[in-house]
Every structure is written in C-alpha cells, then in structure tokens.
Amino acid sequence: MKPHLPRPHLSLRAYSDALTHGSVAQIFAVAAGVVLSVLGVASLIVNADFSTGSSLAAKDLVFFDVNGWSGVLYLVTGLMMLLAAVDAARARTIAMLGGGLYLVLTVWSMLDDSILGLLPVNDPMAMVYAAIAVIGLAAALRPEDAERAG
C-alpha cells in the first residue's frame, strides 16, 4: 500500500504563507508560477498558432517571440509550480525539475532559433529561460531548504 501524502490546501492564505514564511523554493515556485502562468495565457491570446518546423509562426509579445506551443509550455509549467508551492518538499522538487527543464531550454536556445521546431526563441526569451533555470536550481539546492523538506 502506498503511503498517503496529505494534500496541501490550495488557497490564497496558503500562498500568502508560502511567500511570507515558506522556503526559498516555495517563494520561487509562487513567483515563477505566477509569471509563467500569466505569460502562458498572454502568449495564447497573442498567438494560438500551433504550426511546426519551417512553418513555425511566431508573434511578438512585448520582447518575446511566442506561439501556441510556447503558451502551453509556460502555462503548464507555471500551474505546476503554483500547485507545488504550498508544500516545501514539493516546491523543492518542482524548483529542481523546472530549473532543469529551463536549463535544457536555455542551452538549446543558444544552438538554434527554435526548440524542436515547436518553440520560437529569441534573445530575451533565452534570458528568461536562463533566469528561471539558475534561480530554480539555486532555490532547490539551498541547504536549509533541503533540511527543512527532508
């Protein structure tokens, strides 16, 4: 039988507590989750085109090139971070996974102007990827958060 993990209570108070009394990973998960979720929704509003490869159609959202695929990526990763943010151990895990994912996207964006022919990349977006990667991995690897979560 699997051990039952208690479900964190998702409320504005839980997020407020995570921001004021939570671990660095929780603060990262809330902040990055909000930014990525808003960016995802805005991306889908600006350009919901899901074309791929040579027909990849990117539109500008302020400084960023976006399309439907990037909107889905940002929305899904943002919501995952928000869901994990109310629990210190889960926030640490999602900070590690999110930081790792965005590190891969950062490296890939240095090599090509699209990722897998799905995600358009320009320099400002590559900098956002790098910031999420560095801050997420740093938050996940912070020693006192590892002790608190474990």
DSSP string of 33-93, one letter each residue = HHHHHHHHHHHHHH------GGG---EEETTEEE-HHHHHHHHHHHHHHHHHTTSHHHHHH
pLDDT at residue 102 is higher than 90: yes
Per-residue pLDDT reduced to its tens digit, 106-117: 999 999 888 888
Q: How far is it between the farthest Cα atoms of the chain? A: 50
Lookup: tokens for 60:
């500008």
> Domain boundaries in the chain?
12-48+60-149
Lookup: tokens for 128:
């956002």
Residue, of 15 and 150, whose pLDDT is higher? 15
Cα 113 to chain centroid distance, Å, stands at 20
Per-residue pLDDT reduced to its tens digit, 60-96: 888 888 899 999 999 999 999 999 998 889 999 999 9
pTM of this structure: 0.82
